[in-house]
Chain A
Amino acid sequence: MRERSDWLSNIQITFMVSSAIIGVTVLTLPRTAAELAKAGGFIATFITGVLMALVLVIVALLAKRFPNNTVMEYSGEIIGFIPSKILGFVFFLYFINVVSTILRLFCDAVKELLLKNTPLEILIITFLLAAVYLCLNGISSLAKICELFEPLVIGTMFLVILLSLEDFNFEELLPAFKQDISQWLFAVPHLTISYLGFEVLLFAAPYAQDTSKVVKYGLLGILPSIFIYPLFVGITVGTAGVEAVARSLYPTIQLARYIKFPGGFAERFDIFFMVFWMLGAYTTVSTFVYLSSVSITKLLGLRNYKPFILLIVPVIYVLALLPQNIKEINIFSQYVSYIGLALLAVVIVLYILAVIQKRGKILENENK
């Protein structure tokens, strides 16, 4: 009937972008921000968000020019066959590394907080298989799950922010206004990993109901993170102080732990937060599992991506177990975010080339 399995409504695009962005890195985001930008972390985070929103507009404009194809196909039109295949391979590498990194980060946090005695391998494989189950059901189910879980995730984040206000001390943030702009800008590249995920537009746009509105709905998707991330960083630093946050392993969890649940029927709010946090991590992991399998399929010029989902499971598993300790994970994730930034730069170049070469369709501008 009318609801096809490979069809996304505009709202679903928003939810997919939003849930691909809001993911595991929020657990560590305040630490990175506090380490590099000290008290001004929240400003640096906000600047990063705005910059990333601009990049998202360009990504969406590129996707809009080619409403029937993914980036794997139209990059060939713009830069030629061989470079486009190389780009596609880098995309695949990037996606698969993102899955491994966030999976590892997340499972480490789960082990640390919830299941001290369960082997990490078990956690990784169960969570990965759950994501695979979703991906096997297609992009439409993925979008629906984003719609179901995203409100819960954002709601929990707001709850944490609201309940932490009690301990919030604005004086901790005051040094931010004496800082140099360069210190904020210096932190930007390190913070971008938290905002990465909107690359999903490059692959999901062909399924969109109305590709001409992809810019508007994509922007709507990044909005929640632009506001919640700086709030989170600000509240965490304001509650615990710069030094404590910079040294804490999972400052967000630490923040949640301070919270006294009203009525006192739950002692540890961090477990509560972690539980709903799983949903956010799940949508991110699933989106990237989907993207990795689709990118490798398109790279090989095939159509059915479902066998590849199963094929990449062992690769992700091994990659996720590769880092030995939390320090290596951090280095690993830093490299991954650099690849992501480089890819975004390439996408911007692609867009400029496409405009110059007048490739692709120029859809009617949305006048709203």
Chain B
Amino acid sequence: MKYIEGSPNPKNKKNMEENNPPRLKSEEQVDLTLDKQVGKNLEKFKAFLKDSSDMVFREFSLGTQNIPCALVYVDGLVNVAVINEQILKPLMYQITLLETNLNQPIQRDKIFEVVKLHALTVGEVKEAKTLDDAFLYVLSGEVAVMIDGFDKILIANARGWPQRGIQEPPSEVVIRGPREGFTETLRVNTALLRRKIRDPNLVIRSIKIGRRGKTDVAYAYIKGVASQELVEEVERRLSQIDVDIFLDSSQIEQYIQDNYITYFPQIEVTERPDKTAASLSEGRVAILMDNSPYALIVPATFYQFFQSPEDYYERWILASIIRLLRWSGAVLASLTPAIYVAIVSFHPGFIPTNLVISVAAARATVPFPAFVEALLMELTFELLREAGARLPRAIGQTIGIVGGLIIGDAAVRAGITSPIMVIVVAITAIASFIIPSYSAALAIRLVRFPFIVLAAVFGIYGVMLGFIILNVHLVTIKSFGVSYMTPQAPMRYQDWKDFFIRLPSQFMKRRPTSTYPVDIDRRNQDPVKEEAR
């Protein structure tokens, strides 16, 4: 273990040497193997950690023989009650009591096993054989118990730190359905998953990512459902990440996605345990990260971003209608301003004569061409949205009123824009918020700017050209080896049951084929012949 990888920045070198020469020097002298003497091991801990005020080093003696012992833990990451009652009390008091009752001391060479098996009344106890391991455990919130005479350290789990409780996920609200959401603690999140799937085949494996962060990242899948290739691919991509620290799972997303020159999300992100569990049962793999309330789900296809958990909780006919509404919302959000520009500037004949006249009358006072008008208004809307998104809720509403009502009305009265343009912008805005996934909605909304430009140059021909190029781009994207536009391209009829519409749950006897699940059947039935995939 070294504090600084490579050579330090030469500009800062002198400064650094002046400020903390002793620590750097002591680090170089520390031997990372464990010693048999508690004092020396403690010295090694202190060599690294004594400057940190949140470290606790507690020396005490064990039993009647007064064997020197020590505890090391991070204050704030541990539950002090557990340490007092389950670790210190047995070691300092109850073992002494035992020895007095038995009238004979415990043998020195067995004391480690005795402590591990009989004294520590803590659920999870591990052994650390190197200082490196011990550091990682201690800094993750566990307690290191050192006993004189052994070159290994007992690690007792006494984790307990302040954490946010389980709350309703603010970014994915449903009206009907479970209201719990993931939190920033990995263990809570995995527990939420376990509570949904009590199958021993649910595997939650974890690795540590980040040279300094050493963040726990867990990936969950159902063995025998998720394709082995997919799991291996996830494993491979995760293990290749080499970074300093990660603060949110979205950073993992950026490292493991297939294509980073697109603004369409290729990995589904959710705060909802029920959605995650449903994805696992579809043969997908979920990636959870400590410190992040968002789970990543791979592979993701384009149509998934139009699904909401509520679709499955609501009656299927209503859910299907709402899903169709979302698809039309996507079309409206990306194309409405472009079509407006194209029709006004190139093909006024397309719309009924009466409408043409009223549009022309409304635009009579507007000094700009439709293109400039559309661009101005759409940009203003994006400004307002971004301003409102980062503000406290109370001020955000003010922004909405000032922006939407006052500016919109004033712009029309001042003759800068036509009322129809305001309607177009409003439709775009509302339609874009219909899409359940925030990142997909953002991508779909921003795609309209190139469309407006194309419409201004080539009219409706340009809009269609843009539509074609967008689709070509979409079919070339893959998410963990699965084509983005599945199940439409490549065509998979079996998956259409849950695509534009959602058929009754009784019809979904099989898992989606796009994830290549090992076990395609959701329930017992005659094995069907393998359809053409």
Contact = CB atoms under 8 A, between A and B. Distances in A.
B465 interface: yes
Contacts of B17: none
Contacts of A137: 472, 475-476
A127 B464 CA distance: 10
B459 interface: yes
A144 B489 contact: yes
Contacts of A267: 349-353
Contact of A271 (B350, B458, B533): B350
A3 interface: yes
Interface in A101-132: 110, 114-115, 118, 123, 126-127, 130
Interface string B464-480: 11001101100110101
B491 A271 contact: no
Contact of A275 (B349, B460, B478): B460
Interface stretch (A5-13, A79-87, A223-231, A339-347): A5-13
Nearest to B348: A267
A148 B489 contact: yes
Nearest to A282: B468
A241 B416 CA distance: 50
By size class, the interface of chain A is 35 or more
B119 to A, nearest CB: 51
A177 interface: no
A115 B459 contact: yes
A1 B481 contact: yes
A145 B489 contact: yes
B516 interface: yes
A19 to B, nearest CB: 12
Contacts, number: 107
B476 A278 contact: no
B57 interface: no
Given A3-B483, A268-B349, A278 B458 contact: no
Nearest to B466: A130
Given A265-B352, A267-B353, A147 B469 contact: no
Contact of A2 (B355, B481, B488): B481
B490 A143 contact: yes
A1 B230 contact: yes
A141 interface: yes
Interface residues of B, number: 37
Contacts of A115: 346, 458-459, 461
Contact of A12 (B349, B352, B490): B490
B532 interface: yes
The SS class assigned to the B binding surface is helix
B86 to A, nearest CB: 48
B533 A265 contact: no
B229 interface: yes
Interface in A234-274: 264-268, 271-272
Given A9-B533, A266-B350, A278-B464, A148 B471 contact: yes
A1 B532 contact: no
A271 B469 contact: no
A148 B473 CA distance: 12
B98 interface: no
A148 B469 contact: no
B233 interface: yes
Contacts of A209: 532
B351 A145 contact: no
B461 A264 contact: no
A134 interface: yes
B353 A133 contact: no
B461 A110 contact: yes
A279 interface: yes
B120 interface: no
B267 to A, nearest CB: 15
Given A9-B491, A147-B489, A279-B464, A133 B350 contact: no
A335 to B, nearest CB: 28
A127 B458 CA distance: 12
B483 A114 contact: no
A121 B257 CA distance: 39
Nearest to B343: A271
The 4 closest A-B pairs by CB, nearest first: A1-B481, A144-B489, A144-B475, A147-B489
24 contacts: A1-B480, A2-B229, A3-B481, A9-B491, A11-B491, A12-B491, A114-B347, A114-B459, A114-B460, A115-B458, A115-B459, A115-B461, A123-B461, A126-B465, A127-B465, A130-B469, A133-B469, A137-B472, A145-B475, A147-B488, A147-B489, A148-B489, A278-B461, A278-B468
Given A1-B482, A130-B469, A267-B352, 19 more contacts: A1-B233, A2-B229, A3-B482, A3-B483, A15-B491, A114-B347, A114-B461, A115-B458, A144-B485, A145-B471, A147-B489, A148-B489, A209-B532, A265-B352, A266-B350, A268-B347, A278-B461, A279-B468, A282-B468
